[in-house]
Amino acid sequence: MSDLEFVQRCVTGDSLAWDEFLRRYSRLIYNYIFQILNSSIANSSKTELSAEIFQEIFLLLTKDNYRKLKTFQARNGCSFASWLRQVVLNYTIGYLRRQKIFFSLEEADEEGFSLQDVLADNRICVREGLTQEEIFSALSGCIEKLNKEEQLFLEMYLKKRMSPDELGKLFKVKRGAIDMRKLRIIENLKECFRRQGFM
């Protein structure tokens, strides 16, 4: 049975399939959560936090008649485990942000892995089934990582539609410097999106 057929059995109320889902994926989900927390926060309550996020992810997957679980479509050869990993990654990072638990992308855990390494894992498939809110959250997170001047540049260039010459006057630099700044910001955003699996 394919991953897609298995998930379809789960969302139609097949209790044997759901029991198999719990047996097969509970530990995997918990391990994904713990891996993210272990590589991102220096907090002694990681076990409690993992358990709390674990419960919330199961609520996310099953609420509204399995709405989130139904978004798995097995596109582009993406396995269910890879899709599930991405859902867990997105939810856990969003949870940490909502709770204002600060985390570092670069700080390595005792095994030498950082959250950046987790995000850059090349086993992640192209994201499928993400809500607009999840995509917007990832985009906002990438923009927040830019410094204030780069954020202002984006605001003036994209929202206010200022020309490169107008931007040069505003930032008191030559046109060539504006073009270089624009390229650097775009590359930074692309790299951030790539680490999160969008590209």
pLDDT digits (tens, 9 = 90+) for 76-128: 778 888 889 889 988 888 888 787 665 555 555 455 555 555 555 544 444 44
Burial 123-150 (b: 16+ CB within 10 A, else e): ebbebebbeeebeebbeeebbeebeeeb
Could you tell me the fold of the domain covering 131-199?
Arc Repressor Mutant, subunit A (1.10.10)
pLDDT at 187 over 90: no
Question: Are the C-beta atoms of 74 and 80 separated by less than 8 Å?
Answer: yes
Is 1-129 in CATH node 2.40.50.140?
no
Q: What is the pLDDT of residues 17-64, one digit of tens each?
A: 999 999 888 888 988 888 878 766 665 567 788 889 999 999 999 999
Q: How far is residue 171's CA from residue 157's CA, in Å, rounded to a whole number?
A: 12
Radius of gyration, alpha carbons of the chain: 20
What are the residue boundaries of the structural domains of the chain, listed by start? Answer: 1-129, 131-199
**pTM metric for this prediction:** 0.53
Task: Name the token pair of 62.
Answer: 């099953």
Q: Dig out the tokens for 95 from the structure.
A: 């949870």
